[in-house]
């Protein structure tokens, strides 16, 4: 950001020895080829053992004018734009503890490097969960999931991270460690910084700790699926369910080339409640045919990213947002765009958030995604590229970030004036 800071190709020995004074030597190592971030090779990997160490390393890097890439489980490092510069990987791998599960208060405090799965296992001992189903929970860490604002099908009922996070501690580029929010669910004291850092891609600070509200694990769950003749019928069913008094935890439409559209719905609750609700649902289904179903259908998002490339084709995955009532229209539009030689598949939640995958030749994918983005943006939606094939680097990940971009850049300047953290990865060059 600051022109006076020139990119460095190697780190000074003073910097490395300063880092080793903060973090034990065995947790400071030269970066390997596998540490590259979207094709950009860093020099050093540092794994601090705690918040203070992390903040000190960050401050040293900031003072030295280095670019820092925070890393959790490394599952989503390809998301966003490739970094402009990358000197140091700051890993939260060792900061992986569940600090406190206040089960009677339905809250949990956790270090950023803890995996989602470990957190879920811990709180499940008291019949609770973080009501969030992000991608790759075995590897994905709390810090990474927060930074990328990843959410899954449960979002329809429980909201996204912004609705679940009640407190966060962040290390800023200058070494400041700041907390906001707290461990009570209801709290309006001061600015809501946990929301600011959620989805900020680590460009404002490194999340070191977070506190979440929890929900009880459901007593019973039931997944029901329907096949529909086309996307419009799937849409009609979804809107009818949304406009009904059913209480469902997730609702999604899956469609794609040479695939009959399907609607999946998840109920959670007591046995009595579930049977009454599924009976009501069947009355609403109309012409749609009930299909065999298991909870596996809720892994569709994962399948979108699986590396099954046919005939040497490449693929890309993008997140799209649309109005809930325009999901079918979006699917039809993708179908039209893809008609020129792309295979595609999409899974969209009733919230209007979906994932689309396109398989084919790289230039066709790039052209397809561009057209799709244009179509969505004119309707107030968006398209963000999450997984891109090699050779599609020129397609910007985020698209239009609206008339508040100047304000976002001002926030970035306040938090990280030198552009130390994840330079160039976020919207508008942030």
Residues of this chain, 370-399, that bind another protein according to CB under 8 A: 380-382, 384, 398-399
Taking residues 269 to 308 in sequence order and writing x for each that binds another protein by CB under 8 A, - otherwise, the string is xx-xx-xxx-------------------------------
Among 243, 294, 308, 378, binds another protein (CB under 8 A): 243
Task: Please tell me whether residue 50 binds another protein under the rule CB under 8 A.
Answer: no
Q: Which residues have a Cβ under 8 Å from the Cβ of 125 and sit 6 or more positions away? A: none
Report yes or no: 175 and 59 within 8 Å, Cβ to Cβ.
Answer: yes
Task: Please tell me whether residue 353 binds another protein under the rule CB under 8 A.
Answer: yes
Among 170, 210, 342, 372, binds another protein (CB under 8 A): 170
* Residue closer to another protein, measured from CB, 311 or 403: 403
Which part of the chain contacts another protein (CB under 8 A), choosing from 221-229, 249-257, 320-328, 331-339? Answer: 320-328
Tally Cβ neighbours within 10 Å of residue 307: 6
Nearest distance in Å: CB 180, another protein:
6
Q: Which residues have a Cβ under 8 Å from the Cβ of 167 and sit 6 or more positions away? A: 109, 179, 180, 181, 182, 183, 194, 209, 210, 211
Q: Which residues have a Cβ under 8 Å from the Cβ of 210 and sit 6 or more positions away? A: 109, 110, 112, 142, 143, 146, 165, 167, 168, 169, 194
Task: Please tell me whether residue 199 binds another protein under the rule CB under 8 A.
Answer: yes
* Residue closer to another protein, measured from CB, 179 or 387: 179
Task: Please tell me whether residue 195 binds another protein under the rule CB under 8 A.
Answer: yes
Looking at residues 115 to 134 of the shown chain, list those that interact with another protein (rule: CB under 8 A): 127
Among 84, 163, 303, 332, binds another protein (CB under 8 A): 163
Task: Please tell me whether residue 18 binds another protein under the rule CB under 8 A.
Answer: no
Among 36, 38, 40, 184, binds another protein (CB under 8 A): 184
Among 81, 92, 107, 120, binds another protein (CB under 8 A): 107
Helix (H) or strand (E) holding 330: helix 327-338
Which part of the chain contacts another protein (CB under 8 A), choosing from 167-175, 288-296, 339-347, 358-366? Answer: 167-175
CA angle, corner 24, sides to 18 and 29, nearest 5? 80
Report the phi/psi class of residue 399: left, alpha or beta, with left for phi > 0 and alpha for psi in -120 to 50: left
* Residue closer to another protein, measured from CB, 124 or 259: 124
φ, ψ at 216 (rounded to 5°): -65, 145
* Residue closer to another protein, measured from CB, 3 or 33: 3
Task: Please tell me whether residue 216 binds another protein under the rule CB under 8 A.
Answer: yes
3-class secondary structure, 409: helix
Mutual orientation of helices 13-22 and 51-63 as an angle, nearest 10°? 160
Tally Cβ neighbours within 10 Å of residue 330: 27
φ, ψ at 69 (rounded to 5°): -110, 110
**Residues that contact another protein, how many (by CB under 8 A):** 91
């Amino acid at each position: 950001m600051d022109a006076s800071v020139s990119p460095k190709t190697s780190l000074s020995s003073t910097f490395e020895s300063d880092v080793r004074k903060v973090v034990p030597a065995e947790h400071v190592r030269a970066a390997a080829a596998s540490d590259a971030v979207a094709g950009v090779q860093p020099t050093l990997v540092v794994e601090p053992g705690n918040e203070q160490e992390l903040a000190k390393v960050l401050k040293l890097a900031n003072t030295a004018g280095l670019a820092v890439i925070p890393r959790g489980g490394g599952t989503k490092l390809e998301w966003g734009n490739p970094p402009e510069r990358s000197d140091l990987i700051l890993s939260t791998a060792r900061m992986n503890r569940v600090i406190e599960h206040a089960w009677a208060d339905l809250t949990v405090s956790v270090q950023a490097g803890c995996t989602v799965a470990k957190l879920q296992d811990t709180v499940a001992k008291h019949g609770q969960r973080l009501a969030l189903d992000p991608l790759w929970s075995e590897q994905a860490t709390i810090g990474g999931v927060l930074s990328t604002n990843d959410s899954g099908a449960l979002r329809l009922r429980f909201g996204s991270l912004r609705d679940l996070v009640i407190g966060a501690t962040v290390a800023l580029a200058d070494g400041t460690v700041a907390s906001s929010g707290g461990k009570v669910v209801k709290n309006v004291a001061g600015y809501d910084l946990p929301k600011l850092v959620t989805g900020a891609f680590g460009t404002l600070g490194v999340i070191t700790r977070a506190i979440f509200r929890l929900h009880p694990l459901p007593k019973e769950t039931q997944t029901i699926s329907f096949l529909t003749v086309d996307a419009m019928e799937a849409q009609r069913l979804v809107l009818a369910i949304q406009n009904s008094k059913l209480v469902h935890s997730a609702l999604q439409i899956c469609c794609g080339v040479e695939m009959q559209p399907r609607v999946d719905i998840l109920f959670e609750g007591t046995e009595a409640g579930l049977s009454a609700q599924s009976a009501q649902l069947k009355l609403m289904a109309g012409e749609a045919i009930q299909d065999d179903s298991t909870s596996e259908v809720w892994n569709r998002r994962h399948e979108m990213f699986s590396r099954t490339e046919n005939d040497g084709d490449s693929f890309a995955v993008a997140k799209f947002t649309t109005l809930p009532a325009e999901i079918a229209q979006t699917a039809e539009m993708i179908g039209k765009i893809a008609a020129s030689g792309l295979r595609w598949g999409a899974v969209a939640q009733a919230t209007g958030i979906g994932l689309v995958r396109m398989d084919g030749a790289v230039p066709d994918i790039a052209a397809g995604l561009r057209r799709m983005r244009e179509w969505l943006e004119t309707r107030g939606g968006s398209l963000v590229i999450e997984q891109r094939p090699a050779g599609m680097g020129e397609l910007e990940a985020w698209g239009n970030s609206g008339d508040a971009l100047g304000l976002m850049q001002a926030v970035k300047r306040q938090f990280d004036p030198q552009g130390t953290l994840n330079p160039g990865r976020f919207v508008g060059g942030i």
